[in-house]
Structure formats: C-alpha cells, structure tokens
A and B are shown apart, each in its own frame.
Chain A
Amino acid sequence: MATLHTRASARLMMSPAVILLFVWMIVPLAMTLYFSFLSYNLLTPGAHNFIGFTNYYYFLTDPAFLTAIGNTLLIVIGVLLITVIGGILLALVLDQPFWGQGIVRLLVIAPFFVMPTVSALVWKNMFMNPVYGLFAWIARGLGLTPVDWLADVPLFSIILIVAWQWLPFATLILLTALQSLDGEQKEAAEMDGAGAISRFFYIVLPHLSRAITVVILIQTIFLLSVFAEILVTTNGGPGIQSTNLTYLVYAQALLQFDVGGASAGGIVAVILANIVAIFLIRLIGKNLDR
C-alpha cells in the first residue's frame, strides 16, 4: 500500500510525538532504577551511597510484600469477576427496548465520571459507615447487627468500591458489542430451535469474547495500580489487610521517607505487572486476532 517514500515521511512526521512519549516514559523509569540502588532516605541527608541490591533484598523479604501481592491479585480478580459478569448482565438488560432507555443508559455510565477519591469517600461515609451508613441502616431495619465494612472486610469493601467504578466501562463496551451482533444470526438460532439460554451461550457469548478480552486487558492495567480508593478509605489497614503493591510502595516512600526502598518496590511492581501482562496476552490474547 505505502511506498518507501511515504513510509519514510510518515516516520518523520510521527517521530516528535514518539520521541516525546518515549522520553516521558524512559526518564522516570531510569531515575527510579537508579534510585533503587542507592541508600537514599529523606531523614538522613548527605551522600547517597551505592548499595547494590540491598533495597531489593529488604523490599522482597518484607513480610508485607507477599500479602501485598496477594491483595493486588485479589483486587484484580475480584473486580474483573464482578465487572465482567455484571457488565454482561447489565448490557443484556440495557439492550432490551424499554421506556426511558436513554436516561437509564446515561445513569449507568455516570459512576465512570466520578473521581475515585470522591466515590471512595461516598462509599465510606454514606454506605459503609457502621453507625450512619446506608448498609448499617438496612441491617438494623432487618434486625441484624450492622457490619463495619472497612474494618471487618476491608479488602472486599475495596473490591466493591472499585468494581462499582469500573462496571459502567465494562457495560458500555459489552453493550456496543452486543448491539453489533447480527440480528439474523439470533433469528437463525431461534429457528434452529435454540432457546434463550442456548442462544446466549452458543451465539451471544462467543460474539462477546473479543469485547470481554478488551475489558479484561484494559481493566487489569488499571486495577494493578489501585491507590486512591485505599488511601481514602482504609489506609491499607487494618494492619496491612488491604495494602496492595502500589500502596506498599507509597507507604515506603512517603511514610518512611525511604526513597531507595520505594524505588526498588516500584521496579518490582513494574516487573510483576509485565509478568501479568504476558500471562494475560498468552491466555486470552488469541481472541483478538481473528
């Protein structure tokens, strides 16, 4: 399609943007890598000595590290499960013609526009507060003891909050995929004797597989680095029960002023994220090339 000449000029045109993006990415990464090998604590000014892998050693042997990895994965998996399953169900409902469809669709998308800190605060104070929260009120109304969500099931609460934020995204993508399903295919299946459930599993779900893959890939990238919701609600606690990797790095850098250790943690997080990405692409990426 493109001749040698047009390709060369295309590269030339693109280069400013690509170079800018590349520098934007590479400079912080290089500096983080550099800091991670230094003894660099904000409380001990003076020379920053090169200390090799010591920072990594302390970060990786920190008992909080394994817990944080486990929590990170739980958040990713939990939120993915809720948003993908919930998103499919919501998309199926929203795809049906009903009165007020436009407004309902708009409302469903709304949570996506709320800032993470704001939505976390709303959940913390309006819903999950054990004294005046909505859930506590419902529980008392039913004669049950209110649950102190953020203290008793902190990780689950975080998952709920984050899932609430990402559900609209999943719903929206899956809804558009659903609408692109050829109506004649559904009718053909209907004539072939497939009931509603068979139609869903044999026709609709395979059609959605690509959209589901996109939802999983995009969400995983963001869910690996959930932070604001934890900071605003549980501060990683009680103890380290709701600390994920991002929050652990934050705690290291800004609560213990250990820049070197936090940098080492950051690099570890980058490596882990890449492992997850490779794993995901291997597992479900084949859905994308068709």
Chain B
Amino acid sequence: MGSISLSSVRKSFGTTDVIPGIDLDIEDGEFVVFVGPSGCGKSTLLRLIAGLEDTTGGQILIDGKDVTAAAPAKRGLAMVFQSYALYPHMTVYNNIAFPLKMDSQPKDVIDRKVRDAARVLNLTNYLDRRPGQLSGGQRQRVAIGRAIVRQPSAFLFDEPLSNLDAALRGTMRIEISELHQQLKTTMVYVTHDQIEAMTMADKIVVLNAGRIEQVGSPLDLYRTPANLFVAGFIGSPRMNMIEGAEAGKMQAKTIGVRPEHIRLSPTEGAWSGTVGVTEHLGSDTLLHIDADELGPITARADGEFAVRSGQRIFMTPDRARMHRFDEKGLAIR
C-alpha cells in the first residue's frame, strides 16, 4: 500500500553531486525520519521521492511500480511543505478540497471528506477563513488536512514544524504521531531536530553529504552508532569523544562516552577534572568539565547534584556503554 524503495538514486545539480547514490527501503506503514546536518540533501531526497526533482540516475519504486519518470500527481503521495504552501486566496475549506476537486470527485463526496478531515484536525470552526487569518499551528493543520483527504499511499513532510514555537512543536509532534497511528500510512519525515527524530520515528535515516551513514530504530542508533558521525549526531548533549592515550588503552583511535553514562563523585573516580560552567535544567544538571589531558568533557548529573564552578571532580565512565572507533571512524564491536 505504501512501500517506497530507492535503488542507487543519484542527483546532481550541474556538476555538484548532491546525492552520489542512495539505496533505501521504506516499508508500508513505517514512520521514517531523515536527519542530518543542514545542506546534506534531506530535502533533495524527499523531493526526488515526490517527483518534484528529476533523478540523475537510479530507480524509485512505489509499491513495486517504477515511478522514476512519473509525474508527481501520479505517484499517489502527499507532501506537507515547510512553508505550508497553502493557497492564500482560497478559504480553508477550498484549500483542503483542492486535491479532490482536481481529481474531479463529486461535490457531496468532497464535502464529506473535507468535513471529516476538519473534524480530525480541529479545524471545523475555521473552514471559512483564509490562511492569512490563521495561526501557525492552524495553518500547519490545514496543510496536513490537504494531504490526508487524498488518502495517499505515503505522506512526505519537509521540516513541517520548524516555523512553530517550542510548545506548539511539542503538541504538533504528538498530533502527527497520533495521526500516524490512526491512519497507519507510510510517513517520510525530514527534520534536523533530534527530538523529533528520536520521538516520532520507527526508523531513522542519518544522512551526511548525500550519503546514508546509518539506518535503524532510534534506540539502535543511540546504543550502537555505526560510526563517529552518527555517534556525534544522535544524542543531546553530544557524546564526548576522547583520543590519545586513554583511547589507546582500549585499543581504539577514538573512544566515546555519553554525558549520561558518566558517574560523578567529589572524592574518587577514573578521571578527574575542574568544573567549568554548570547548566541547571531542573531535572538534570549539565557540567562542562575541563578534564586535563582528556580535553573538555560534558557530564550529566541529577538536578540536585551540588557542585561549584572551579571545584575538582572525579568521573567514572560506564565501561559497558562506551563506544570504540577505529582510524576510519567506524565503530569497533
């Protein structure tokens, strides 16, 4: 019903290779999130799937059918854009009805579907308004409404929440997740926000410079990052990377330990350092420690942890949860 498969898909703009070749399988009903740093090609990859950009090479299959050369409308996908791309001169009702109207569906069917979608998305009271008279979150819901009325085989989202404030982002995140559970339709979601990726995804695809670094469930990526890039990218605050003698002791070029896997003590431990800045987040305290020859280390303590700037402190990493990487940056298992 909505499986997407890419085989050696390439894209270049002129002479620059934005995507040098990607193989990826997205199963029906999955919530897949593309993450990666800015400019790594997430949007481009999504637009290739949508058909808004032509591929330079490779093949795109949707439900086993080759759609590499098919027009966007023929692929049965719906997309929610970062700018929402609502039609400003149409009412909310007409915005949501537009894809159905283009599909020449009968008036009563359109009416029923639009009202259903509006009910699901809490837009019933706004159907007569123009997009300009709505708040950011409401516009976002209209854009989603326009996507769901078509009953597409998959939804594509390009950073849909990046224009919203933090609180609203939290709510919309949950709404989209609920929508996914209700509809059970494949969703492909682009973001550079880790929290969105970790909380919403069934499967995260980490991209870097147009290449896939790792594919896996959020916890997989958190527990067993395949390389330095993924280790540094997933998890917040970032994993501490230590090179040199300390890494050599563990037969690795680089070792990594997450801030939450360091036990702190004022009296004893494997490593020691001087506390610099402390950030009190309420539930946790983040300590930025200058650990002498190991370099700067970030550690997470609980919210009540008493510590002063300039104090000597001892750290003990949880050996079982440390990560080792070789010269090429690949994880040693």
- Chain A residues within CB distance 8 Å of chain B: 182, 184-185, 187-194, 198, 202-203, 206-207, 209
Contacts and interface: CB of A to CB of B under 8 A. Distances in A.
8 contacts: A182-B85, A184-B82, A188-B79, A192-B98, A192-B102, A193-B73, A194-B102, A203-B87
Most central of A188, A206, A207 by chain B CB within 10 Å:
A188
Interface in B143-187: 146, 150
B83 interface: yes
Contacts, number: 57
A26 to B, nearest CB: 41
Interface in B74-119: 77-79, 81-83, 85-90, 98-99, 102-103
Given A182-B85, A184-B83, A189 B98 contact: yes
Given A184-B85, A185-B87, A203-B87, A191 B78 contact: yes
A189 B89 CA distance: 13
B201 interface: no
A253 to B, nearest CB: 48
Contacts of A188: 79, 81, 85, 87, 146
B163 to A, nearest CB: 13
B52 A190 contact: yes
Contacts of A182: 83, 85
A190 B102 contact: no
Nearest to A184: B85
Nearest to A198: B102
Given A184-B83, A190-B72, A191-B72, A206 B102 contact: no
B103 A185 contact: no
B144 to A, nearest CB: 12
A207 B87 CA distance: 9
A184 B50 CA distance: 13
A31 B318 CA distance: 97
A188 B99 CA distance: 10
Shortest 5 CB-CB distances between A and B: which pairs?
A: A188-B85, A192-B99, A184-B85, A193-B73, A193-B102
A183 to B, nearest CB: 9
A28 to B, nearest CB: 42
Contacts of B51: 191
Contact of A206 (B79, B89, B98, B103): B89
Nearest to B143: A188
Contacts of B85: 182, 184-185, 187-188
A191 B102 contact: no
B79 A191 contact: yes
Interface string B44-75: 00000011100000000000000000011100
A202 B87 contact: yes
Contacts of B50: 191
Contacts of B71: 190
Given A185-B86, A194-B73, 14 more contacts: A182-B85, A184-B81, A185-B85, A187-B52, A187-B72, A188-B85, A188-B146, A189-B87, A190-B52, A190-B72, A191-B77, A192-B150, A194-B102, A203-B87
A197 to B, nearest CB: 11
Contacts of A189: 87, 98
Nearest to B80: A188
A207 B89 CA distance: 8
A193 B51 CA distance: 12
Most central of A185, A192, A194, A202 by chain B CB within 10 Å:
A192
Nearest to A206: B89
A198 to B, nearest CB: 6
Contacts of A207: 88-89
A106 B50 CA distance: 36
A187 B71 CA distance: 11
Nearest to A188: B85
Most central of A189, A191, A198, A209 by chain B CB within 10 Å:
A191
A190 B89 CA distance: 17
A136 B145 CA distance: 60
A68 to B, nearest CB: 39
